[in-house]
Amino acid sequence: MKHWLPLLALMVSWAWPLHAAEECVIESVPRSTKDLGPWIDQDNWLAPENLRIGLQSFGRFMPSLKITATGTAQMLHPASRQIELDKLKARDPLDQQPRDIGFLLATRLYADGLLVLRDGKVVSERYWNGLVAQDQRLLLGGTRALLSLMGAMAVAQGKLSPDQSIIRYIPALSGQTGLRKLSIRRLLGGEGGFDWSSQDVSDWLVAGGWNPGKTASGIRAWLNQPGRWEKDFSPTPQLGEAGPDTDLLVWALAEAYRVPLTRTFCHELFAKFRPESAAIWLTDAQGTELSAGLALSLRDFARFGQLLIDARNSNRRNKVPNWFIETLTASAGLRTANSPDLAGLRKGSEIRHGFVHLGGAPNRIAVLGPYGNSLFVDFDRRLVIAIFAAYPRNHAAGMRATLEQIWDTLASATQPMGKR
């Protein structure tokens, strides 16, 4: 049997482009041979000092799939009035002093790229530190928001039932008694997670190939090890952090649609962007897509935000369920205190389905990935702000407070003079 496995893997890799040819070509990407500093290796490619290289040189360290949409790209056109970025000022949250917004982007956020869309048109686009428009950046925990949306679409299509246990959709996990009470609803909503030890997390990172070690068995074998899910469950939502729980969602989506995740991603979301660049999805050694493995260009990341705005204002909603958008934007009511994960944001901010419902003003949401990589969506203003950054910590209150100031300043600058 073992002699057939390489042949089977080869047959699968050939078959994906043929099955997905109508909307996407999906193909394995050879490991990159790009020269990097000899000190950058599998142990430290995502260390703070290497982030700008690591977040864009992931193909040097992990296997991946390239997803190329076959349709005509919808080009992003410039608006008639551009933001004069160099003239904008905002309050520096660290010392409360007025600063040029360029200072906040460069010095406080470590920004590498900024793209602002209003009504689907570009009002500002800047790149720094070697990033260019075609570069894909690894979203890591920011991938969670797109997975939740795909899960919501699967519910709307009857592929998943929110009140059913995850075990119903992943028969291979039927022996995991700790999963029997984990419903699709709870998994999609990001309502807490299992209490993983530091050793559990380390082993999970090795199984996925993120960290060096024996990875041949892959992520799903790790998820199904005896007693794996006999853990306490914490009800506290987690922000922008991928984990074993999220890899369950990847597995459930693959089972629900009966195709690899990348094909579902293409058909349900990516092709709808009408993207300019290919997407990249990192995999384990077995070719299974990883829950923190999506990489997009800045322009295509912004297109995701625009897709949500267009869906909310469309009768057809482009397959995005009405209830999902309304859940993200609904007022928090009397709840005003933020969780510790949201310190730095306005009161009333909440984690919902991998997104952040932003307090302080209605109908604003964000995707907050690690290191400042973020997507801001204001439905009322039809405004999208996509940022790629290399902030030296996963998450921090100062980083989030800086993002709030940048969002507010850019949102005001995009308004007609009489409405500022």
- Residue 250: C-alpha distances to residues 20, 85, 220, 393 (Å): 19, 39, 10, 26
Look at residue 113 and tell me if it is in a domain. Answer: yes
Average pLDDT of span 58-71: 95
Rounded to the nearest angstrom, the gap between the alpha carbon of residue 273 and the centroid of all alpha carbons in its chain is 15
Reduce the DSSP state of residue 110 to 3 states and report it. coil
> Both 125 and 200 in a single domain?
no
What confidence tier does 205 reach under pLDDT thresholds 50, 70, 90? very high
CATH number at residue 400: 3.40.710.10
Instruction: Examine the domain organization and report whether 273 and 376 are in the same domain.
Output: no
Q: Indicate if 414 and 388 belong to the same structural domain.
A: yes
Predicted confidence at residue 19, as pLDDT, reads 43
Average pLDDT of 282-303?
97
Question: Which residue range forms the structural domain that includes residue 319?
Answer: 89-133+302-419
pLDDT at residue number 314: 72
Q: Which residue(s) pair with 200 in the sheet?
A: none
Q: Quick one: 321 and 222 in the same domain?
A: no
Q: Could you report the per-residue pLDDT of 318-358, keeping only the tens digit for each?
A: 578 989 999 999 876 545 456 778 999 999 898 899 999 99
Percent of the chain with pLDDT strictly greater than 90: 72
Domain count within the chain: 2
Domain contains 232 = yes
Q: Are residues 42 and 152 in the same domain?
A: yes
Q: Is the pLDDT of residue 279 over 80?
A: yes
3-class state of residue 222 by DSSP: helix
* Strands, sheet with 355-357, edge to edge from the N-terminal-most edge strand: 121-127, 111-118, 383-389, 374-378, 364-368, 355-357, 350-352
Mark whether 315 and 268 lie in a shared domain: no
Higher pLDDT, 192 or 37: 37
Helix (H, G, I), strand (E, B) or coil at 184: helix
- pLDDT recorded at residue 331: 77
Confidence band of 382 (pLDDT split at 50, 70, 90)? very high
Return the pLDDT at 318: 59
Please say if the pLDDT value at position 419 is more than 70.
Answer: no
Whether residues 314 and 401 fall in one domain: yes
Inside any domain, residue 340 = yes
Answer yes or no: do 52 and 182 share one domain. yes
Establish if 265 belongs to a structural domain.
Answer: yes
Question: Which residue, of 245, 265, 294, is where some domain finishes?
Answer: 294
Domain boundary pick from 294, 311, 334: 294
Least confident range from 115-119, 227-231, 233-237: namely 233-237
Q: Are residues 404 and 347 in the same domain?
A: yes
Same domain, 228 and 274: yes
Residue that is last in its domain, among 259, 278, 294: 294
64-84 burial, b at 16+ Cβ within 10 Å, e below that, comes to bbbbbbeeeeeebeebeeebe
Q: Is residue 82 part of a domain?
A: no
- Judging by DSSP bridges, how do beta strands 24-29 and 64-69 pair with one another? antiparallel
- Does residue 84 lie within any of the structural domains? no
- Is the domain of 210 the same as that of 320? no
Burial class (CB in 10 A: 0-12, 13-18, 19+), 21: exposed
Tell me whether residue 80 is in a domain.
no
Q: Which pLDDT tens digit goes with each residue over 145-178?
A: 999 999 999 999 999 999 999 999 999 999 999 9
147 lies in the same domain as 248: yes
How confident is the model over 277-289, as a mean pLDDT?
A: 96
